[in-house]
Amino acid sequence: MNMNAAFSQFYKRTPEQRLAILAKTLGLSETEQQELQQRADQGDAPLLIENYLTTYQLPEGVAVNFLVNQHEYVVPMVTEEPSVIAAASNGAKQLAQAGGITATVRSRLLTGQVVLSDVRVYASIDDWVALHQNELLEVARQAHPSIVKRGGGPQTIRTRDLGEGFVSIDLTVDVQSAMGANMMNTMLEAIADVIQNKLHHTTLFSILSNAGDQSLATATVSIPVGQLANDFDDAKRVAKRIEQASRIAQLDSMRAVTHNKGIMNGVDAVVLAMGNDWRAIESAAHAFAVTDGQYRGLSQWHLTDNQLTGTLTLPLPIGVVGGATKVLPLVAINQKIAQIKSPEELMMLIVAVGLAQNFAALKALVTSGIQQGHMKMQMRSLAMSVGATAVETPALTQQLMKLSDPNEAQATQLLNQIREKQGE
């Protein structure tokens, strides 16, 4: 079969036609076709992406117990991973008991790059940009004047020698409430035109940077050690072990990756619920984790004077307007649930979720172990994966929890037994 011929002009087809082509060429069953069709959106989703087929759904829940800057929050989270929301809520509850999380935003600027290649003398570009910086900033302003009216706009322009004849002209922009990718790219292209016309230097590309290091948010919390267990000596042992676990993530990048993945479990789930670009946040976070050349844990926990203090700083170049925030129907409702009034407030909430998620994970890890807390959720997933219905799942989950290390075959066998009993 010539697959390419079947998919010719695929982008011009309707979702129904695309499904028919897929079904025919790849042998999708009636049930599979219905499954895809039932989830197809009749609204805006087909216009959001190319070659739209259906809408892939993920579960949304809310994490509770968050106290950030003395304000209580309910946090919408979109995730497929069992236990993320339970752990976030549980971590947040313990941090609220300690007086809550304090969060701050250091700055909220976006950076972009116009990159030049084949530069023989870096100083000539640097001097020219320094001399013309006001003109270049004005060009950027004129390229997207509405952001200036909103109180934002281009702030600084400077050059960096990247070596091997490459030079980056870096523009920072106050993007106000947007993530700002598109306005930044428009401004950069306008600057690139000037470079081309006046400096007679061809640019290689112009695009925002996802580094996010000028959009940093920090969350901190200080927990009285006595809160960590009923017995004070036990509590101190737990605090010490959390501190050590956090230290290992500073020393060992193999552990740091897992440490940070746990933080991003919560961060991504909120970013997704808020209609933001989670790939941008992921890239920014991991780049930030390697700032000094070694990949390290993004959070740190220290034990001093019977207080366990945790700090997490994250680059969070998110937006509360623009992008997918207006197109995805649930985002406006999620913003209302979280009662977010500004992008800074959302940044503070996200970093607070990361810290609570990290605390819950570390505490579980150094006490009962991660599996115990996860077990019920894992068993529920196993039950669902072997085809248990919503009615059958609770009973099967209970039975699986009694086994030491249940597998798919055992789950299937138990499910069959449940069904046989029901049929009796």
Measured from the CB of residue 158, what is the shortest distance to ligand NDP in angstroms? 21
Whether 268 is catalytic is: no
Q: How many residues does the chain have?
A: 424
**Annotated active-site residue in 24, 71, 198, 261:** 261
For residues 90 and 209, which CB has a smaller minimum distance to ligand NDP in the complex? 209
Q: Which two tokens stand for residue 305?
A: 């004077």
Nearest to 301 by CA among 371, 341, 360: 360
Looking at 54-62, 153-161, 170-178, 292-300, which segment touches ligand NDP (CB under 6 A)?
170-178
179 interacts with ligand NDP by CB under 6 A: yes
By CB under 6 A, the count of residues binding ligand NDP is 20
| Least CB distance to ligand NDP at residue 210 (A) | 5
* Residue 345 is a binding residue for ligand NDP (CB under 6 A): no
Between the CA atoms of 212, 216, 217 and 223, what dihedral angle is there, to the nearest 10 degrees? 120
Residue closer to ligand NDP by CB (options 20, 321) is 321
Q: Which of 344, 391, 367 is nearest to 90 (CA)?
A: 367
| Nearer to ligand NDP (CB atom), residue 215 or residue 357 | 215
Among 117, 182, 227, 309, binds ligand NDP (CB under 6 A): 182
Nearest residue (CB) to ligand NDP, 177 versus 203:
177
Tokens of 291: 């700032």
Active site residue 240: no
Cβ–Cβ < 8 Å for 32, 57: no
Give the nearest residue (CB) to ligand NDP. 322
Q: Is 181 in the site for ligand NDP (CB under 6 A)?
A: yes
Q: Which stretch binds ligand NDP (CB under 6 A): 18-26, 82-90, 124-132, 171-179?
A: 171-179
Is 323 an interacting residue with respect to ligand NDP (CB under 6 A)?
Answer: yes
Q: How far apart are CA 124 and CA 418, in angstroms?
A: 78
Q: Which of residues 232-291 bind ligand NDP (CB under 6 A)?
A: 277, 280
Q: Which residues pair with 301 in a beta bridge?
A: 310
Q: Which is nearer to ligand NDP, 129 or 147 (CB)?
A: 147
Express the helix, strand and coil content of the chain in percent, nearest 5 each.
50, 20, 30
Whether 231 is a known active-site residue: answer: no
Tell me the torsion sign for CA atoms 343, 345, 351, 356: negative
CA–CA separation, 360 and 87 (whole Å): 6
For residue 372, count other CB atoms closer than 10 A to its CB.
10
Angle 253-273/343-366 helices, nearest 10 degrees? 140
Q: Does 124 bind ligand NDP (CB under 6 A)?
A: no
Least Å distance, CB 339 to ligand NDP, is 18
- Helices within 122-231 (DSSP H only): 122-131, 133-143, 145-149, 181-194
Q: State the catalytic residues.
A: 81, 261, 277, 374
Residues contributing to the site for ligand NDP (CB under 6 A): 146-147, 150, 176-183, 208, 210, 277, 280, 319, 321-324
